[in-house]
Structure 1
């Protein structure tokens, strides 16, 4: 079976295009490719296998379902309100149930087993240990289809996301022009549905297009990190003697600016200074700064990138010692995304990392288990001891590889 870490690297390093899903990574792939791969991984790896996908979508019961689904999608041309568009764009629950059952029943061949194994080894839909392949596949497919519906509800229908102040829809849905925008989204999607079986992708492509017009392709920003912003540090990891350091990595939590147009907040500066001191004191050979394009609403600045600039230009930390996580939008995902990097970039598995921030922020980290369970459904880290008021030990847990389906900006 394929190694878990290699699978997650494949998520990071393999992309797909809108209609032709590619096997090899190319640095000029579009942001759309990254959005799809990160949010809907089961759909991604299934669609990479054109033979298996062709077999599944050619089944008579699937063709019948897709014919009816396509007809409903075409009905958006008659829509006079937002609710009508949302209904046309989304999967119906009975369609999801039927597709899941059919796909599970028809992927038991040798070809299907390869897909199932790859999916289970990825751990992207929770830990697979002790799970049956049918159960894991059903969960993954159902999550993908329902996650597409979630994006449509939020970014077409204006349903409140988990954090409305930073993640809500960009449009006034009561304006007449907004109905024209939804119609244009639908027409764009239909340009790619050039044969009946491609109706299977209508909700997927609609969700991705809605994220685009809402300027919410955050999951794709600065990718591929390993070949761009994180390249020098990623290469340096392989040359590092970690036995020389008490800790493998120092995670510095961000502090989003309050003012629009402010690249880095005072808190971000001070936490960066804490990190630089720890780095120059030899606590860890690498710093990771974590924070996306979050505060204030629709800021053009990526917090981690601005903190990296500050560490280099003001504090003199070399670029090869700095990694960035430009996607995290919350403290829970600061830790989760860093855990993913610790697992996939070649850091030693038996060594603690450390996290630094303000005293109340580290207090929150120390008591964040319930919040992680509520927002992620798991705890992505194992805490160690608090070595100072502002620094705490942690290790990554394999659960951190699990996709969060209701956070499409940073799944």
Structure 2
């Protein structure tokens, strides 16, 4: 098991790098899926927050969601992310920033459950379905999006792709709005570093802890493989 862990851990950057290298460009992907706009909701995965300022990654994802909303490409935003590495729930922090940028609160939804990117996609997809949203897209930076492309394809999830286009993003007002992050603090927080080993966190990255709905495991071998993690 230890050898397998090392091999898997070392191969992850190669795998993700390959996904990025051979994937279509952000511009090409956007042109393809913008033809299907507007979307009922877009999924925006979380980024850790230090309690003071948003990181460049969080800024880009929130500002991109704001752009897509203001352009009428997305009707609603689902921010996704638990309190993973810091005590702040990533979904809640991004929702506060989104609201500060002018996105109406009634069009902002939060998934505070997800701790890994695959969970961001799946649990937000389930939240979208619960809200009755039909047309759904993942909106994040190209590297993360391309890493999730195969996950979406493998499970045949009806989630389209709207990667950040850097040239478009840089034309926006990227100043950081003021928020009060206190409401986003998770009581009794324990960092994932203190709850999971590196190997366990890697397994989470590959979606090994997702609790599935049986209807989303469309193929027999997937139902067999993940049958012990189907929830009612």
**TM (normalized to structure 2)?**
0.52
Give the counterpart of 2:78 among 280, 288, 294. 288
Give the counterpart of 1:253 among 45, 48, 51. 45
Distance 1:273 1:380, change over 3 A: same
* Distance (whole Å) between structure 2 residues aligned to residue 327 and residue 309 of structure 1: 17
1:189-224 CA-partner distances (Å, limit 9, x unpaired): xxxxxxxxxxxxxxxxxxxxxxxxxxxxxxxxxxxx
Q: Which residue of 2 aligns with 1:356?
A: 139
* Distance (whole Å) between structure 2 residues aligned to residue 263 and residue 340 of structure 1: 30
The answer as to whether partners of 2:138 and 2:159 remain within 8 angstroms in 1 is: no
Q: Which residue of 2 aligns with 1:165?
A: none
Q: Which residue of 1 aligns with 2:87?
A: 300
* Distance (whole Å) between structure 1 residues aligned to residue 113 and residue 64 of structure 2: 22
Deviation at 1:397, TM superposition (A): 9.0
Distance 1:268 1:246, change over 3 A: same
Q: Which residue of 2 aligns with 1:330?
A: 116
Structure 2, unpaired ranges of 5+: 1-36, 166-212, 218-222
Distance 1:388 1:307, change over 3 A: closer
- Which structure is higher in helix share? 1
Give the counterpart of 2:58 among 263, 268, 281. 268
Give the counterpart of 1:368 among 138, 143, 151. 151
Distance 1:344 1:255, change over 3 A: same
Q: Which has the higher contact order (CA 8 A, sep 6+)?
A: 2
Q: Which residue of 2 aligns with 1:23?
A: none
Q: Which residue of 1 aligns with 2:132?
A: 346
Between structure 1 and structure 2, the one with the greater Rg is: 1
The answer as to whether partners of 1:339 and 1:397 remain within 8 angstroms in 2 is: no
Distance 1:328 1:316, change over 3 A: same
Distance 1:404 1:341, change over 3 A: farther
Q: Which residue of 1 aligns with 2:215?
A: 398
Name the Cα RMSD after superposition: 3.8
Distance 1:405 1:276, change over 3 A: farther
Give the SS at the match of 2:110: strand
The answer as to whether partners of 2:137 and 2:159 remain within 8 angstroms in 1 is: no
Distance 1:405 1:331, change over 3 A: farther
* Distance (whole Å) between structure 1 residues aligned to residue 227 and residue 83 of structure 2: 18
**TM (normalized to structure 1)?**
0.31
Q: Which residue of 2 aligns with 1:381?
A: 157
